[in-house]
Amino acid sequence: MLKKDAFSVSILLATEGFVALSVISRVMRGVSPWPVSVFIAALFTLVSPLRGQQGPDVFHWVDFHSQQDQSVVVWVNRSLDPEKWTAIREIGVEYDAALVVTTLRATPQSPANADTFTVWSVSLTTHAISPILKGVNLRWLDWMTFLEAAPAEPTAIYDNCTDCTPATYFTAFHYDTPQHMWTARWLRGGQGVPLWSPNSAQGVELTQIDAVLNDLDGHPFICTWNHFDYGKAKPADDFIYRFDLDPVTRLERTAVISGKDADPIKLRLCRAPATASGLARGQDSAVCQQLIKPRVERRPVTTPPANNHGQSVPPGAHH
């Protein structure tokens, strides 16, 4: 949807979204006689119609061509109007917050693959907005359920630039119930899980391997392995990281895998199939192939033949 569409104002008055906004306004002024539970039910019905669901039952991607979703489209458009963007590409609604993807094109003549994206959390009750993530080439993956009884979460990979050799990152988006907003998982320095880096020191061969693995309970976690080969200068270094959720606090955590725990994880990473999640890389590398199918070197035979009786005489020897 392009910014400041001509149909936005007319839709606002022609859809049930106008009713929803009126209800919100009255409740915020403290004049609504409705019980809180009735208001919440009405709000979810009017602002977040459950249709075409993917992932949790309370989530749905907005259909820009559906009359039922126009209230949300207009609301998001107005909330983001002060910001700099060219088009709204996707809107996902859960409860009272929208997960929104906007794109920005530098000039009308710029190629589409040079667009940058921003992921926002947009409140459907206060117009409050919060930028979550920025990058280029956003690719949605499978929904993942990281903990028991937790809702599935949309996941994605993305790059950090278009005019360079890009680094690639992974993240998952989830609705933060206490904050009533969307957030991204495992953010550090504004980026998600680092899957692929184009940078390597001179004289060092870097092999990068990643995959989605499952724990004993069948819940997925992200695992990455960076293998640094220094040639004859010194022994190789391995850095293996696990990204998952703490089952007690349900917060993101990052763990370094080393010692005796590293070898079985290396093998699992190298044997990881190209699953529907779209997250598996480096399995065809020389490091993985050597681990899965180690090369057997032929050793010299030192055992004397069976008919050797120790009576041979070297040529030219005197009897």
The pLDDT-based confidence of 99 (bands split at 50, 70, 90) is very high
Where are the strands (E) in the chain, listed by range?
59-61, 87-94, 97-104, 116-123, 129-140, 155-159, 168-176, 181-184, 193-196, 205-214, 220-229, 237-245, 252-257, 280-281
297 pLDDT above the threshold of 90: no
The pLDDT-based confidence of 306 (bands split at 50, 70, 90) is low
Considering the chain, what percentage of its residues have pLDDT values greater than 70?
73
The pLDDT-based confidence of 2 (bands split at 50, 70, 90) is low
Give pLDDT, residue 200: 80
Of residues 68 and 34, more confidently modeled:
68
Residue 75 burial (CB count, 10 A):
23
Where are the strands (E) in 220-314, listed by range?
220-229, 237-245, 252-257, 280-281
Measured CA to CA, the distance from residue 123 to residue 106 in angstroms comes to 27
Helix, strand, coil fractions of the chain, as percent rounded to 5 = 20, 35, 45
Token readout for 203 is: 């004289």
Q: What is the mean pLDDT of residues 139-148?
A: 94
Token readout for 5 is: 């569409």
Give the three-state DSSP class for 208: strand
Give pLDDT, residue 224: 97
21-35, 161-175, 276-290: least confident range: 21-35
Q: How many residues does the chain have?
A: 319
Give the three-state DSSP class for 225: strand
204 pLDDT above the threshold of 80: yes
Of residues 168 and 1, more confidently modeled:
168
7 pLDDT above the threshold of 60: no
289 pLDDT above the threshold of 90: yes
> Position 25: which residue type?
S
168-172, 183-187, 302-306: least confident range: 302-306
Residue whose structure tokens are 């119930």: 177
Give pLDDT, residue 37: 36
Residue 181 burial (CB count, 10 A):
21
41 pLDDT above the threshold of 80: no
Token readout for 230 is: 């220094």
Q: Rounded mean pLDDT of the chain?
A: 82
Of residues 27 and 155, more confidently modeled:
155
- Exposure on the CB side of residue 221, measured as CA atoms within 13 A: 24
Where are the strands (E) in 112-167, listed by range?
116-123, 129-140, 155-159
